[in-house]
Copies of this chain bind each other. A is one copy, B any other.
Amino acid sequence: MTHTLDEALTLTPGANAGESTARTHPAWANMVGPFGGTTAAVALRAVLDHPEAQGRPAALTVNFAAPIADGEYTLIAESARTNRSNQHWVVRGVQDGATVFTATVLLASGRETFADTEATMPDVPKPADIAPVTRDVPLKWLSQYEMRFVEGMPPATAEQATDSSLTRLWSRFSAERPWDYEGLACTCDMFFPRIFARVGSRTAAGTVSYTVYFHSTPEELAAQGPFVLGEAQGGRFESGLFDQTARLWSEAGTLLATTHQLVYFK
């Protein structure tokens, strides 16, 4: 059986190279439109599908300009520059003649040189020692993941508002799926909006700018177990926007990705 994410990532090639059609997937529906992580993965896939693509994903930035309505939308991926060691792309998502997102993608060819992970993986219990969230999930896409919170569950009431938006959780696809860059691009968006933790209620919120730096080598991804550890925290909430800094770690302690977003809230 094809995984729902792979279904969402199946693009229909258009008349010109770099043009393709995507279709929102009901299994990945969010409050309004599709889960942003899926859209980011689709934008990345549009580049990787291009016959001129070379190198592995290194950086991805998606600016969400408008909600995507259920149904089809067009992707236009343009190569902006190809160098010896990297390649720059600009992607646009268009629906009903209007831009719904813009994105830039950086592909890079790896080079053997100094390597080290300076960031420290949080010392947390193993996923087997934590119970998965079983309460009813209000959004379709959430059931695509099995989440096991180490700390910083989404609050249920205003009384549960805290001074810290730090969340740590183990997460895996509910239906098994090998890890790849599209899977990381999607999963880096799995954190509930940090504003929920601070105010204790589910105010309207949506990511406007989303960046993923992919640290993982293809070999690491291939050897990767089902769970990833995610750690996310907000920095400043001001004028209806906040930033989130987050990391994704493998069970074996590999830093797979660093991710940031700027989120609008009411």
Contact = CB atoms under 8 A, between A and B. Distances in A.
Interface of A: 58-59, 61, 63, 65-66, 80-81, 83, 85-86, 88, 90, 92, 98-100, 102, 104, 106, 108, 110-119, 163-165, 195, 198-199, 208-209, 211, 213, 215, 217, 233-241, 243, 245, 247, 255, 258, 260, 262, 264-266
Interface-central residue, A99, A112, A164, by most chain B CB under 10 Å: A99
Contact of A239 (B108, B195, B235): B108
A165 to B, nearest CB: 6
Interface-central residue, A66, A115, A209, A255, by most chain B CB under 10 Å: A209
A106 B63 contact: yes
Given A116-B237, A215-B235, A236-B255, 7 more contacts: A59-B208, A106-B262, A114-B198, A114-B237, A115-B239, A117-B236, A118-B233
Contacts of A118: 163-165, 198, 233-237
B213 A239 contact: no
Tell me how many chains of this kind the complex includes.
2
A159 to B, nearest CB: 16
A40 to B, nearest CB: 13
Nearest to A164: B118
A246 to B, nearest CB: 11
A85 B78 CA distance: 28
A113 B61 contact: no
A59 B237 contact: no
A119 B63 contact: no
A86 to B, nearest CB: 6
Nearest to A80: B99
A81 B98 contact: yes
Contacts of A266: 111, 113
B115 A238 contact: yes
A258 B241 contact: no
8 contacts: A59-B208, A63-B80, A114-B265, A118-B235, A213-B262, A215-B241, A235-B255, A236-B255
